[in-house]
Amino acid sequence: MHILIVDDEPNIRRTLRATFEAVGHAVEEAGSGAEALELVGRRSFDVALVDVRLGDESGLELLEPLLGQTPRLAIVVITAYASIDSAVQAMRRGAFDYLPKPFTPAQVRAVLERVARVRGLRDRVADLEERVRAEIPEAELDSPDPSMRRAFDLARRVAPADAAVLLRGESGTGKGVLARALHAWSGRADGPFVTVSCPSLNADLLEGELFGHVRGAFTGAVRDAAGKVAAAEGGALFLDEVGDLPTPLQPKLLRFLQEKKYERVGDAKTRAADVRLIAATNRDLEAAVAGGSFREDLLYRLNVVEITLPPLRRRTDLLDLADHLLGFFARQTARRLDRFTPEARAALARHPWPGNLRELRNAVERAAMLAEGPEIGLADLPERIAIPPADPAHVAVEVGAPISLERLEVEHIRRVTAAAPSLEAAARILGMDPSTLYRKRKQFGI
Ligand SMILES: Nc1ncnc2c1ncn2[C@@H]1O[C@H](COP(=O)(O)OP(=O)(O)OP(=O)(O)O)[C@@H](O)[C@H]1O
């Protein structure tokens, strides 16, 4: 490390220099505050040891300008009187630690080890954030919006614990992205992150997918399979849309949460797994509990920690996000895309975004492809965003009404799905593949 010693006593400087150089650090000395600032202006340091008494000056006054120049600098304050007072003051002003005089070489080394450890952790967090971004390159894991900031702060705080986390929010608000980030910020980051999507056409298939099965356990089980719980060993299992977990599977998941034990379908052998559970839902699970489709005890096991993501239309940073995504797609397409026109911004701000971030991302990606100049105009946005509905309250959504085909499609899918006994049945009525129905529900935020 590069270490700066700021002390007006040459003897102390000499002793410290010898201690540090003996273990391979590079050292510079300053006898006054002015000298220290001069040196910091010229090159970067990892650690500064600053004596509280610098002749007539106070070392404490030096903290702010030093940190102003190098925010990452770890400042260790040396105080002759071992006075708690000046140490507390120093820490309040951003010092990393303090050393009471007289100190032994072992104490000095211990402080440096702490600096190195904290620095290592900080670098690791930055590295992990980078990896999450690489996986979802447009992900913005910071936000000035108060409710988003609360959500990100909470996620960072609970990430290291092994407790189950329940992510709530409408479709497309970023629950999947946050689940990955949470995992990347946890101590299990080197372990796998495995996703299971709970809306399934068949409880048996889902049970097999989750816990594994032996050959012949059910139709289609042609060979033994280990399942996703086993695949997530040492890492995290992300249960997407957990509100759609079929009722027969709920007691099995509950047992797994309580005991970390499970059996493969068709196998009597009990197996154990070390897996952290992250679940997401866009449903009102309390209402599902009241209606009897979701077990209350399972809900209380899943929501040890609950993080709610706000819908995009309520976020104060909607336009910042649009700018962020525009920057991302400009880089990706190597095109010059500077900004949205004021009209386009107004349309973005007015749109209700039923598909939330997913819809915004898709709209910006599309606009980035269509736009000719450096500005994104109204014409580059999808019609439903660019043109506000004439008077939505008075135009009935029905065949032949003056509305777009898309609005009709959304309404039709919504009604058929609500009336059908299962998603499979709804897909059959609509004449589409169940996976297409699943995708469309996501796309339109149904
Ligand atoms: N933090 C973010 N920054 C930028 N884009 C994001 C962020 N979070 C989500 N998105 C965008 O929105 C899309 C949808 O996010 P994600 O799949 O996490 O939502 P979700 O809430 O899990 O949706 P669903 O409930 O439908 O599964 C992502 O693919 C990404 O493009």
CATH code for the domain in which residue 301 is found? 3.40.50.300
Considering the domain boundaries, does residue 359 fall inside one? yes
Q: Ligand 1 in contact with 129 (CB < 6 A)?
A: no
Q: Ligand 1 in contact with 315 (CB < 6 A)?
A: no
For residue 417, the CA-to-ligand 1 centroid distance in Å is 23
Percent of the chain with pLDDT over 70: 97
Lowest-pLDDT choice from 217-226, 252-261, 280-289, 413-422: 217-226
Considering the domain boundaries, does residue 133 fall inside one? no
Q: Ligand 1 in contact with 139 (CB < 6 A)?
A: yes
User: What is the model's pLDDT at position 205?
Assistant: 83
Q: Ligand 1 in contact with 354 (CB < 6 A)?
A: no
Residues 422 and 374 both lie in one domain = no
Q: Ligand 1 in contact with 365 (CB < 6 A)?
A: no
Lowest-pLDDT choice from 221-230, 251-260, 424-433: 221-230
Q: Ligand 1 in contact with 313 (CB < 6 A)?
A: no
- pLDDT at 392 > cutoff 60: no
Considering the domain boundaries, does residue 134 fall inside one? no
Considering the domain boundaries, does residue 135 fall inside one? no
Residues 190 and 260 both lie in one domain = yes
Strand pairing partners for 262?
271
Q: Ligand 1 in contact with 441 (CB < 6 A)?
A: no
Could you tell me the CATH number of the domain that includes residue 338? Answer: 1.10.8.60
Residues 201 and 300 both lie in one domain = yes
In the Cβ-directed half-sphere of 288, how many Cα atoms lie within 13 Å?
Answer: 20
Residues 346 and 428 both lie in one domain = no
The residue ranking higher by pLDDT, 222 or 90, is: 90
Q: What is the pTM of this model?
A: 0.67
Considering the domain boundaries, does residue 267 fall inside one? yes
User: What is the model's pLDDT at position 446?
Assistant: 76
Residues 266 and 328 both lie in one domain = no
Last residue of a domain, one of 292, 308, 324: 308
For residue 359, the CA-to-ligand 1 centroid distance in Å is 9
Q: Is the dihedral of CA 430, 433, 438, 442 positive or negative?
A: negative
Residues 189 and 258 both lie in one domain = yes
Residues 198 and 275 both lie in one domain = yes
* CA distances (Å), origin 250, targets 9, 254, 295, 297: 70, 6, 7, 10
User: What is the model's pLDDT at position 389?
Assistant: 64
Residue with tokens 């068709």: 266
Which amino acid residue places its CA nearest to atom 30 of ligand 1?
358
Residues 321 and 298 both lie in one domain = no
Task: Give the model confidence (pLDDT) of 244-294 as tens digits.
Answer: 999 999 999 999 999 999 999 999 999 999 999 999 999 899 999 999 999
Residues 224 and 272 both lie in one domain = yes
User: What is the model's pLDDT at position 128?
Assistant: 78
User: What is the model's pLDDT at position 339?
Assistant: 94
What are residue 178's phi and psi, to 5 degrees? -65, -35
Of all atoms in ligand 1, which is nearest to the CA of residue 141?
1
Q: Ligand 1 in contact with 417 (CB < 6 A)?
A: no
Range of the domain at 424: 405-444
Q: Ligand 1 in contact with 303 (CB < 6 A)?
A: no
Considering the domain boundaries, does residue 129 fall inside one? no
| Cα separation, 323 vs 330, whole angstroms | 10
Q: Ligand 1 in contact with 145 (CB < 6 A)?
A: no
What are residue 414's phi and psi, to 5 degrees? -60, -50
Residues 376 and 318 both lie in one domain = yes
For residue 257, the CA-to-ligand 1 centroid distance in Å is 26
Last residue of a domain, one of 60, 88, 121: 121
**Which segments of 98-145 does DSSP mark as H helices, in order?**
105-135
User: What is the model's pLDDT at position 391?
Assistant: 56
Task: Give the model confidence (pLDDT) of 12-52 as tens digits.
Answer: 899 999 989 988 899 999 999 999 999 988 888 899 999 98
Could you tell me the CATH number of the domain that includes residue 110? Answer: 3.40.50.2300
111-120, 189-198, 255-264: range with highest mean pLDDT: 255-264
> Is the ipTM here above 0.85?
yes
Which amino acid residue places its CA nearest to atom 6 of ligand 1?
139
Considering the domain boundaries, does residue 248 fall inside one? yes
CA 390 from centre of chain: 38
User: What is the model's pLDDT at position 342?
Assistant: 94
Tell me the pLDDT of the chain averaged across its residues.
Answer: 89
Considering the domain boundaries, does residue 132 fall inside one? no
User: What is the model's pLDDT at position 201?
Assistant: 62
Residues 297 and 332 both lie in one domain = no
**Is 167 in a helix, a strand, or coil?**
strand
For residue 177, the CA-to-ligand 1 centroid distance in Å is 5
Residues 274 and 154 both lie in one domain = yes
Q: Which residues contact 331 (CB under 8 A, 6 or more apart)?
A: none
- pLDDT at 398 > cutoff 80: no
Last residue of a domain, one of 279, 308, 337: 308
What is the pLDDT confidence band of residue 406, given thresholds at 50, 70 and 90? Answer: confident
28-32, 108-112, 196-200, 430-434: range with highest mean pLDDT: 28-32
Q: Ligand 1 in contact with 173 (CB < 6 A)?
A: yes
Q: Ligand 1 in contact with 282 (CB < 6 A)?
A: yes
- What total number of domains does the chain contain? 4
For residue 267, the CA-to-ligand 1 centroid distance in Å is 37
| Cα separation, 225 vs 206, whole angstroms | 13
- Cβ pair 342, 305 in contact under 8 A: no
Burial 117-148 (b: 16+ CB within 10 A, else e): eebeeeeeeeebbeebeeeeebbbbebebeeb
- pLDDT at 408 > cutoff 60: yes
- Strands 270-272 and 261-263 come out as antiparallel
For residue 184, the CA-to-ligand 1 centroid distance in Å is 16
Task: Give the model confidence (pLDDT) of 316-373 as tens digits.
Answer: 999 999 999 999 999 888 889 999 999 999 999 999 999 999 999 999 999 999 898 7
